[in-house]
Amino acid sequence: MAVKLSDTVFDPWQEIANHQQAAGMAGKYGATAVFVGTMRDFNQGDAVCGMYLEHYPGMTETQLQLIVTQATSQWQVLETLVVHRVGRVEPNDTLVLVAVWSEHRGDAFDASRFIMENLKSRAPFWKRETLANGEQRWVDKNSGGYKRQS
Amino acid sequence: MSIKVLYFASLKDQVGRSGDELQVSAPVSLLELWQLANPDLPLPNALLAAVNMNYASLDSLASDGDEVAFFPPVTGG
| pLDDT, tens digit (0-9, with 9 covering 90-100), for A22-63 | 999 999 999 999 999 999 999 999 999 999 999 999 999 999
Q: Is residue B21 part of a domain?
A: yes
Decide the pairing of beta strands A87-89 and A31-38: unpaired
Residues of A with a Cβ under 8 Å from any B Cβ are 37, 53-56, 58-59, 62-63, 84, 95-96, 116, 119-128, 138-142
Across the interface, whether the CB atoms of B75 and A123 are under 8 A apart is answered no
| pLDDT, tens digit (0-9, with 9 covering 90-100), for B30-43 | 999 999 999 999 99
Looking at CA atoms only, how far is residue A122 from chain B in angstroms? Answer: 7
**CATH code, domain with B54:** 3.10.20.30
Average pLDDT, chain A: 96
Asked whether residue A82 carries a pLDDT value surpassing 70, the answer given is yes
Question: Does the interface predicted TM-score (ipTM) exceed 0.90?
Answer: yes
B/e letters for A99-122, b = 16+ CB within 10 Å, e = fewer, are bbbbeeeebbebbbbbbbbbbbee
Torsion sign, CA atoms B45, B51, B57, B61: negative
Q: Is residue B59 part of a domain?
A: yes
Looking at CA atoms only, how far is residue A142 from chain B in angstroms? Answer: 5
3-state DSSP percent of chain B in helix, strand and coil, to 5: 20, 35, 45
Domain residue limits at B39: 2-71
CA–CA gap between residue A101 and residue A20 (Å, rounded): 9
Q: Is residue B77 part of a domain?
A: no
Q: Is residue B10 part of a domain?
A: yes
CA–CA gap between residue A49 and residue A89 (Å, rounded): 9
This prediction's pTM = 0.95
Instruction: State percent of chain B over pLDDT 90.
Output: 99
Q: Is residue B30 part of a domain?
A: yes
Looking at CA atoms only, how far is residue A95 from chain B in angstroms? Answer: 6
Decide the pairing of beta strands B2-7 and B19-23: antiparallel
